[in-house]
Amino acid sequence: MEDLRVAGERLRVAVVGAGPSGLYVADELSRRGGTSVDILDRLPCPYGLLRYGVAPDHLKMKSLVATLEPVLGRPGIRFIGNAEVGTEVGNSVTVDELREAYHAVVYATGASRSRRLCIPGEELPGSFASSRLVAWYNAHPDEPAMTPLAGARAAIVVGAGNVALDLVRMLLGGCTDLRLTDVPDDVVDSLRQAQLSEVHLVARGTPAQAKFTTKELRDLDALDDVDLVVHATPAELDAAAADGATPVAQRNLRLLGEWARRPLRGARRTAHLHFGLIPTEVLGTSRVEGLRLQPAAGSAAVSRVLPAQVVVSAIGYQGRPIAGAPFEAETATIPNIDGRVQRDGSVSPGEYATGWVRRGPSGVIGTNKLDALQVVERILEDLPILPPPRTDRTVPVLLAARGLRPVEWDGWLAIDREERRLGQARGTERVKVRARADLHGLADAAAGSSRPLADG
Ligand SMILES: Cc1cc2nc3c(=O)[nH]c(=O)nc-3n(C[C@H](O)[C@H](O)[C@H](O)COP(=O)(O)OP(=O)(O)OC[C@H]3O[C@@H](n4cnc5c(N)ncnc54)[C@H](O)[C@@H]3O)c2cc1C
């Protein structure tokens, strides 16, 4: 395959973020011609929210990793983990440094920050942003091991999307035996030993407005020893389905109607689905004791207090600004036109955005592939005008000059081997290693020396 060239030089691209979006860009670039692509990630491990967001009991979705993995091993593509762009941590590089060393920089940094409820009591122990609980059960290196469900008998998840459903399912033990997933033993034990008898999902909108996909909703019915209680009458659900609902909403309403008509099974635990309620206060003195709710406008629901020891807000995600890159606070995305980044209202040559940081947190993983195809088209169209690099100081050179070494492909493979070994011992494909120190230790051993990194 011929090289993609800019003024006679092989195209050199830095992709910031090794989540699905960044990997799809690298994949597509390498299919179009010879390129040098450095994929940076602030974490020692690739795959972004596919590894650290998608619920562990969704084994099929998690297995997408197997289709992305070969991309990172392809000639011309380098994984550079533990390299953060635009922050003050020791192992970071600046946006300007990237722009000086590469023809093009593609931001694929995702949107991993949870939106907050912004109500009194939200800071009480026992109240969590969804990103924290999701990070906990997915063994994210930034989230220490904890026992969030210790002593809790009831939990409330606020939200009306698939992440809220993931949380309800996981709090009730998941729809797959968790020992067959990749979650560490301490999380399996914590979820298995939880004494939750009730988990409530509380949505502000009507059942027709919920953003669930029907498959995710149906997964609630696969939970072991759980009764489902829909707090809406079958007549209300039927009427909503007949009232111009979208095809997805109609399927959801039919399913909810089925559950609302069904007699309870006398299960040990109950998942409640409430609609038309707005949380106004997390109650409690030294820790969460409940959630005060009031009816949303036009809702027939009534004000009430739900007692619970755990409250999780799952009301959406936002991108984080990267120092040195433009950011639109209102949408929490990088301003762009068709993936070309805008600075001060004009297109900035050689800068692109893709995935969740480009368009916000919407769509499924495959949607990011379409985004990546578009961005690669833009890069190829722009080849004649891409600014030539002013230096050869690519990221590994920059980090080495600071006495730092990233986690490279062989380091990740060593982590991967260890996780598979732990998995074999438990009869599953892998068990994740959580602590940064352990991840670095494994990567160091593969590289044959100790890692002089400043971030710990
Ligand atoms: C809880 C949850 C569950 C989900 N479940 C599903 C599901 O079941 N099915 C489905 O289709 N989709 C699911 N999604 C959506 C899916 O995860 C996203 O579509 C996808 O991960 C977005 O990809 P991305 O590459 O844009 O962002 P991300 O996956 O977030 O990847 C961004 C990467 O950038 C890195 N990064 C961020 N900032 C920097 C920086 N400054 N320097 C260097 N690196 C940086 C991050 O570490 C991360 O690895 C879920 C999302 C969430 C939040």
Q: In angstroms, rounded to a whole number, what is the distance separating the alpha carbons of residues 231 and 235?
A: 12
Closest ligand 1 atom to 130 CA: 1
Pocket test for ligand 1, best of 16, 49, 64 (most atoms within 8 A of CB): 49
Residues 268-293 pLDDT 10s: 999 999 999 999 999 999 999 999 99
Determine the distance separating the centroid of ligand 1 and the alpha carbon of 110, expressed in angstroms: 5
The residue whose CA is least distant from atom 3 of ligand 1 is 54
Q: What is the pLDDT of residue 428?
A: 97
Q: Which domains can be identified in the chain, with CATH numbers?
A: 5-112+319-447 (3.40.50.720), 115-316 (3.50.50.60)
**Token pair listed for 45:** 């491990």
Determine the distance separating the centroid of ligand 1 and the alpha carbon of 333, expressed in angstroms: 14
Q: What is the pLDDT of residue 244?
A: 83
Contacts of 81 (CB under 8 A, 6+ apart): 18, 40, 41, 43, 44, 45, 46, 406, 407, 408, 411, 412, 443
Q: What is the pLDDT of residue 448?
A: 66
The residues that bridge with 80 in the sheet, in sequence order, are 40
Determine the distance separating the centroid of ligand 1 and the alpha carbon of 22, expressed in angstroms: 10
Q: What is the pLDDT of residue 61?
A: 94
Q: What is the pLDDT of residue 402?
A: 86
Q: What is the pLDDT of residue 449?
A: 54
Determine the distance separating the centroid of ligand 1 and the alpha carbon of 112, expressed in angstroms: 7
**Token pair listed for 234:** 């079958």
Q: What is the pLDDT of residue 447?
A: 80
Give 60: exposed, middle or buried? Use CB within 10 Å, 0-12, 13-18, 19+: exposed
HEC states along the chain? Answer: CCECEECCEECEEEEECCCHHHHHHHHHHHHHCECEEEEECCCCCCCHHHHHCCCCCCHHHHCCHHHHHHHHCCCCEEEEECCEECCCCCCEECHHHHHHHCCEEEECCCCCEECCCCCCCCCCCCEEEHHHHHHHHCCCCCCCCCCCCCCCCEEEEECCCHHHHHHHHHHCCCCCCHHHCCCCHHHHHHHHHCCCCEEEEECCCCHHHCCCCHHHHHHHHHCCCEEEEECCCHHHHHHHHHCCCCHHHHHHHHHHHHHHHCCCCCCCEEEEEECCEEEEEEECCCCCCEEEEEECCCCCCCCEEEECCEEEECCCEECCCCCCCCCECCCCECCEECCEEEECCEEEEEEEECCHHHHCCCCCCCHHHHHHHHHHHHHHHHHHHCCCCCCCCCHHHHHHHCCCCCECHHHHHHHHHHHHHHHHHHCCCCCCCCCHHHHHHHHHHHHCCCCCCCCC
In the predicted model, residues of the chain with pLDDT beneath 50 are 450, 452-456
Determine the distance separating the centroid of ligand 1 and the alpha carbon of 274, expressed in angstroms: 28
Q: In angstroms, rounded to a whole number, what is the distance separating the alpha carbons of residues 47 and 28?
A: 16
Determine the distance separating the centroid of ligand 1 and the alpha carbon of 113, expressed in angstroms: 10
Q: What is the pLDDT of residue 243?
A: 86
**Token pair listed for 241:** 């389905």
Lining ligand 1 with CB less than 6 A are 16-22, 40-43, 48-50, 53-54, 58, 61, 84-86, 108-110, 112, 134, 163, 166, 317, 322, 355-356, 364-365, 368
